[in-house]
Amino acid sequence: MWDWMYTVNTTVAMAPSLSSVQAGTGTRSSVASTTTSLGRPLRTLPSLRLPSLRIGVLAPSCKSSHIHWISLSSSFLANFSAIRNRASSNAMSNLLVFRRHSYSNKMISIRCAISSAPNASGESILPQGATEVDAFYMRMCVDLARQAVGKTSPNPIVGCVIVKDGRIVGRGFHPKAGEPHAEVFALREAGPLAQGATAYVSLEPCNHYGRTPPCSQALVKAKLKRVVVGVVDPNPQVGGKGIKTLRNAGIEVVVGVEETLCLKANESFMHRMATGRPFVTLRYSMSMDGGFLGNMGLSNAQGGLYSKLLQENDAVVITDAAVLDDPDLLSSEPGAKQPLRVILARSLDLPVESKVFDTSYAKTLVLADQKSCIDDIQRKSADGKSIEARLRAGGVDVVMMNDLTLENVLSVCYQLGATSVLLDSRGPVSSGLENFLGQQALDEEAAQKVVVQVAPIFLGENRTEPCFRMDSDLVKLERVSSHMVGQDVVIEGYFPERS
């Protein structure tokens, strides 16, 4: 009997760095890199059969995470001598120390996962027939799906993972509308290994012929043994029919694993299917003492909050006053599909040289009320051209509207294919700060979600407050959450559903 001490370090959210270690495959937020601190080369280490170990520490680098756990497995038993957890400001590490009492020439096999989010009582919620392993792979599906954020509209984002004998044999996600669905890419990668395997998919497989064949039939043809579904597709053409097709073929189907996470990943799609209207997010910034910040400190740098919001939404709406600060309203995320930029103009006295009117990278639409159009015609420039004519010459669409209500504005956006709209309440100090869009969204009950960025500054007596005027009782947000972006605190919440 041998009695050696081994140490295994794992760090969350980093890809495997040692090819000699058989690490579980996944996405950036769920795969752990593995390093060793040993008295001899890794290639001579034995494989160990250990029970699953749950370590109760937060994993802040994974948005969908709650508890980080490690599973080590092989053909021999081992005893734990010590377990320690340690965290740093940039990453979390779990230090696992154990003693080996048996020898084998097999490699260490390490898999890392994140447990299900708990309910109010602190317990994980899993549907009947589901396990923690199912929840882990479903979160991997959502992470895969998010690689196509902002690119699939009007389709949902979907991820698929195929697992056989504890090994991932196929992965895929839906890249954009008109291209194959996630299941197709995963099945292509799995090939014949898909037979008898389990497929995890974040949204119910489609069951109809559209621009692509039904995925439910593809899964049946591949002879899957089991399919785990995150959430039922609300599309009337699917709506449980894909699940029924799979079950009729003798495939075991489990539905509702990480359902809340899967619903949130496609909240705009779900809202559109339920209401026939775009999903609307209201965004604004404020100081620590309640001052409305407008454009102060707002940046659309890559990886930042604002850049990601522009990437996630099909359209962004600002007022004519916000144009004076010369924003481009373009996401800096790599490969982002740029949103339709919508300007609400109560006056067409606009700086046509502003970056937002450069249509080289994204379309721009000006929605102007009737009075502003009449005033513009009467106020032609020296060359005899109106602002409207000059905007049109630059490729900007201008539409005259009798009433600039958000209901009408959102209706136009929806007709142009926007299923998600960002109401960006902002503007420069020089134009006189006002929370025009925020107030309008509240008055018309137009928004489903609100995102508030709180900067660590005090404006003092000169501050302008958001000044939400309400005739009725207070509005209490639901599903409120917060996180840090740099030094700012971002608060997100959802308005109660309209009755």
Give the tens place of pLDDT for each residue, 181-240: 999 999 999 999 999 999 999 999 999 777 778 999 999 999 999 999 999 999 988 889
How high is the pLDDT of residue 442? 87
How high is the pLDDT of residue 169? 98
| Contact criterion met (CB below 8 Å) for 130 and 254 | yes
Q: Retrieve residue 216's tokens.
A: 């439910």
**Exposure letters 247-277 (e unless 16+ CB within 10 A, then b):** eebebebbbbbbbebbbebbbbbbbbbeeeb
Site of tokens 């009007």:
154
| Contact criterion met (CB below 8 Å) for 134 and 200 | yes
In angstroms, rounded to a whole number, what is the distance separating the alpha carbons of residues 110 and 166? 12
In angstroms, rounded to a whole number, what is the distance separating the alpha carbons of residues 290 and 292? 7
The ranges of the chain with pLDDT < 50 are 1-123, 430-431
For helices 436-444 and 406-415, what crossing angle results, to 10°?
A: 90
Q: Output the CA angle 127-245-147, nearest 5 degrees.
A: 65
Q: What is the DSSP annotation of 16-82?
A: ---TTSEEPP--TTT--EEEEE-SS-GGGPPP-B---EEE----TT-TT-S-EEEEEE-SSBEEEEE
* Other CB atoms within 10 Å distance of the CB of residue 174: 28
Q: Retrieve residue 227's tokens.
A: 């399919």
Q: Can you say how many angstroms the Cα of residue 372 is from the centroid of all Cα atoms in its chain?
A: 38
| Contact criterion met (CB below 8 Å) for 496 and 323 | no
How high is the pLDDT of residue 124? 52
In angstroms, rounded to a whole number, what is the distance separating the alpha carbons of residues 440 and 188? 49
| Contact criterion met (CB below 8 Å) for 458 and 289 | yes
CA dist list (Å): 234 to 68, 148, 231, 267, 497: 32, 20, 9, 11, 18
Strand partners, 100: 4, 78
Strand partners, 236: none
How high is the pLDDT of residue 136? 96
Question: Cβ neighbours of residue 252 under 8 Å, at least 6 residues apart?
Answer: 129, 225, 226, 227
Strand partners, 96: 8, 83
Q: Output the CA angle 12-13-15, nearest 5 degrees.
A: 110
Residue 183 bears catalytic tag: yes
In angstroms, rounded to a whole number, what is the distance separating the alpha carbons of residues 425 and 284? 5
| Contact criterion met (CB below 8 Å) for 274 and 432 | no
Q: Which amino acid is at 204?
A: E
**Exposure letters 424-459 (e unless 16+ CB within 10 A, then b):** bbbbbeebebbbbbbbbbbeeebbbbbbbbbbebeb
Identify the structural domains of the chain with CATH numbers, from first to last: 132-273 (3.40.140.10), 277-494 (3.40.430.10)
Q: Which amino acid is at 105?
A: N
pLDDT digits (tens, 9 = 90+) for 272-285: 999 999 999 999 99
How high is the pLDDT of residue 45? 32
Q: Which of 123, 132, 179, 183 is catalytic?
A: 183
How high is the pLDDT of residue 98? 30
